[in-house]
């Protein structure tokens, strides 16, 4: 890219397009690799022969390749003893996750131990990908295998420069997808794979077609082109074996997944009391199945869904129809989130961490920039994290160029990335940024999205920021001009989604389950009332 005669946007795009037509999906811009998603399998680019070619090769000597970036990080570690991180960024559907997997594949190859010792740390690191994809990826409008969480994998190396451990950190799991999916999209892969499991498994959990479950039938998309969910179920089980999840633990995991599907089929009608609700008789089968799978009392589960305990067990308030549906969905989202966190922790424990390691190569794969017809709190958090990554990139490139200019005694002037700074100030300033205002609103039980929205109209920091606009006639939407483009957010559910808590009623219910696995999930977090002023802010974390 740096060899172009005219280094401007049309020239860059033409260069990338020409290379893409020649099946050259990788291009260098200095030491930065640009990758264009080919949307097809290219196994000839990633086999052992190719890895051997890039092993120890001088960066830039061979054709641009993701293996060259991984090799550069490895050689820097060997020659200088420095740790580094490889950042993979881009829009949703641009191929970030596959790129991250290829980076890890190369590092596992070059840092692997003799064949007799393999099937340990390196293989567990690689097999963690299909497990986490099964539970954390889903089909979106732009991508059949979209990561709905962000991940950092820190691969540790011993003094002999072989892989000695690793740690996986995740954040921003899209919990709302468990209960709500847009048409043309799918829920998390694991739900469809379990519904396609062998007959004896389906019978055990009383499952069937995805079309029979509320959490899956909100969209008319049940299958993926070229993907067999029955085969993927077996592949997921095999990967779970390799990463150290036992048969008993897998059984418990799938009990919870099945319980979530049955929970979503519980429906409510207006109750006999004023502002109360009751479970519809025709869906009591799903109530009983949920209780059976979670190994808790069905009547106690029913009470947790339709009643709210106040300060003492004698003070009970009925939930109305909307509140009952909300608490059902809140339970489903909480269970899935806790299950996902348990799987990550289990994989980390199985891989093991080398406490003595002083050399780490990290691979960061964050959810890509998103802009849909309807954007909510999830897109806000995703795009905020992309802005932070862009800020880091700007600073890195600026410092790198300044060093080059200084070394070559070239005159230069400092580059000020005004756009990115202004957007980040808008989001994270204290006390006047969007997140700070959102957290303040969440502290008050009677806050509404209307009161939250009024803050935008009143604050000078919003009025004077050219990257923030409010659509005409809007009461609860705002537009941010991000580095990746303009996005209009619907803030109606921002307050609700920013609060992370576990409702007391079902926390008490499931910590007394007869299933130790379920008890362990809920004992890992404290219970808080939905009306409590104490909460964990998703936006701030």
Question: Is 485 part of the annotated catalytic residue set?
Answer: no
Residue found by looking up tokens 């109606």 in the block: 492
Cα–Cα distance measured from residue 97 to residue 153, given in angstroms and rounded to the nearest whole number: 12
The verdict on whether 145 is a catalytic residue reads no
Indicate the DSSP class of residue 483: T
Is 97 in the active site?
A: yes
Catalytic residue among 27, 89, 99, 143: 143
Residue 314 CB burial class (10 angstroms; 0-12, 13-18, ≥19): exposed
Catalytic residue, candidates 98, 370, 387, 505: 370
**Active-site hit among 63, 85, 93, 469:** 93
Coil/strand/helix, residue 524: coil
Q: Which of 154, 264, 368, 539 is catalytic?
A: 368
* C-alpha span between 143 and 140 (Å, rounded): 5
Binding residues for ATP, by number, are 90-97
The active-site residue out of 99, 146, 187, 334 is 146
Instruction: Tell me the C-alpha distance between 66 and 44, whole Å.
Output: 14
Distant-in-sequence, close-in-space partners of 171: CB < 8 Å, separation ≥ 6: 149, 150, 541
Q: Does the active-site annotation cover 92?
A: yes
27, 89, 97, 386: the active-site residue:
97
β-sheet bridge partners, residue 28: 33
- Rounded to an integer, what distance in angstroms lies between the CA atom of residue 471 and that of residue 128? 44
- Contact criterion met (CB below 8 Å) for 497 and 376: yes
Bridge partners of residue 137, in order along the sequence: 147
Residue 277 falls in the annotated catalytic set: no
146 included as an active-site residue: yes
Q: Give the annotated binding-site residues.
A: 90-97
CA separation for the pair 30, 44 (Å, rounded): 25
- H-run or E-run covering 15: helix 9-21
Q: What is the distance between the alpha carbons of residues 66 and 249, in angstroms, rounded to a whole number?
A: 36
The pairing of beta strand 359-365 with beta strand 84-88:
parallel
Per-residue buried b or exposed e for 445-482, using 16+ beta carbons within 10 Å of the residue's own CB: eeeebeebbebbeebebbeebebbbbeeeeebbbbbbb
Write the burial class of residue 278 (CB in 10 Å: 0-12 exposed, 13-18 middle, 19+ buried).
Answer: middle
Active site residue 370: yes
428 SS3 class: helix
Kindly list the distances between the CA atom of residue 14 and the CA atoms of 7, 27, 113, in Å, as whole numbers in the listed order: 11, 12, 43
Distance spanning both ends of the chain, measured CA to CA: 37
In the set 27, 99, 140, 147, the catalytic residue is: 147
Positions marked catalytic: 92-93, 97, 143, 146-147, 368, 370
């Amino acid at each position: 890219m740096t060899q172009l005669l005219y280094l401007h946007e049309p020239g860059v795009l033409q260069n990338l397009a020409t290379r893409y037509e020649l099946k050259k999906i990788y291009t260098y811009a200095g030491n930065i690799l640009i990758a264009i998603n080919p949307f097809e399998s290219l196994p000839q680019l990633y086999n052992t022969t190719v890895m051997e070619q890039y092993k120890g090769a001088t960066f830039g000597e061979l054709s641009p390749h993701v293996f060259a970036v991984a090799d550069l990080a490895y050689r820097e570690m060997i020659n200088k003893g420095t740790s580094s991180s490889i950042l993979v960024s881009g829009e949703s559907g641009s191929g970030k996750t596959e790129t991250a997997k290829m980076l890890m594949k190369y590092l596992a190859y070059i840092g692997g131990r003799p064949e007799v010792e393999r099937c340990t740390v390196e293989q567990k690191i690689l097999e963690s990908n299909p497990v986490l994809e099964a539970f954390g990826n889903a089909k979106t409008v732009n991508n059949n295998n979209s990561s709905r969480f962000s991940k950092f994998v820190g691969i540790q190396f011993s003094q002999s420069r072989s892989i000695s451990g690793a740690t996986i950190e995740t954040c921003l799991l899209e919990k709302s997808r468990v209960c709500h999916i847009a048409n043309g999209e799918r829920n998390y892969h694991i739900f469809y794979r379990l519904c396609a499991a062998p007959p004896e498994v389906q019978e055990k959990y009383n499952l069937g077609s995805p079309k029979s479950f509320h959490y899956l039938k909100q969209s008319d998309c049940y299958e993926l082109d070229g993907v067999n969910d029955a085969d993927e179920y077996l592949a997921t089980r095999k990967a779970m074996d390799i990463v150290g999840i036992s048969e008993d633990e897998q059984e418990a995991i799938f009990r919870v997944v099945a319980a979530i599907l049955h929970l979503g089929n519980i429906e409510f009608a207006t109750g006999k009391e004023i502002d109360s609700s009751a479970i519809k008789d025709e869906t009591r089968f799903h109530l009983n199945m949920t209780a059976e799978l979670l190994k808790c009392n069905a009547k106690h589960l029913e009470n947790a869904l339709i009643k709210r305990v106040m300060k003492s067990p004698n003070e009970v308030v009925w939930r109305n129809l909307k509140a009952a549906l909300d608490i059902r969905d809140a339970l489903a989202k909480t269970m899935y989130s806790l299950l996902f966190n348990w799987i990550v922790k289990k994989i980390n424990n199985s891989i093991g961490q080398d406490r003595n390691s002083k050399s780490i190569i990290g691979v960061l794969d964050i959810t890509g920039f998103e802009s849909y017809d309807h954007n909510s709190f999830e897109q806000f958090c995703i795009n905020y994290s992309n802005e932070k990554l862009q800020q880091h990139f700007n600073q890195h490139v600026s410092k790198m160029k300044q060093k080059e200019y200084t070394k070559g005694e070239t005159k230069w002037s400092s580059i000020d990335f005004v756009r990115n700074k202004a957007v980040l100030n808008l989001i994270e300033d204290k006390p006047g940024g969007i997140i700070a205002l959102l957290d303040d609103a969440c502290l008050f039980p009677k806050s509404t999205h209307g009161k939250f929205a009024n803050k935008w109209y009143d604050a000078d920091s919003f009025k004077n920021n050219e990257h923030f606009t409010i659509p005409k006639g809007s009461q609860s939407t705002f537009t941010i001009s991000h580095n990746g483009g303009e996005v209009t957010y619907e803030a109606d559910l921002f307050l609700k989604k920013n609060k992370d808590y576990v409702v007391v009623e079902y926390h008490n219910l499931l910590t007394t389950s007869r299933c130790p696995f379920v008890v362990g999930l809920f004992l890992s977090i404290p219970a808080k009332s939905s009306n409590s002023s104490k909460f964990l802010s998703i936006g701030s974390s």
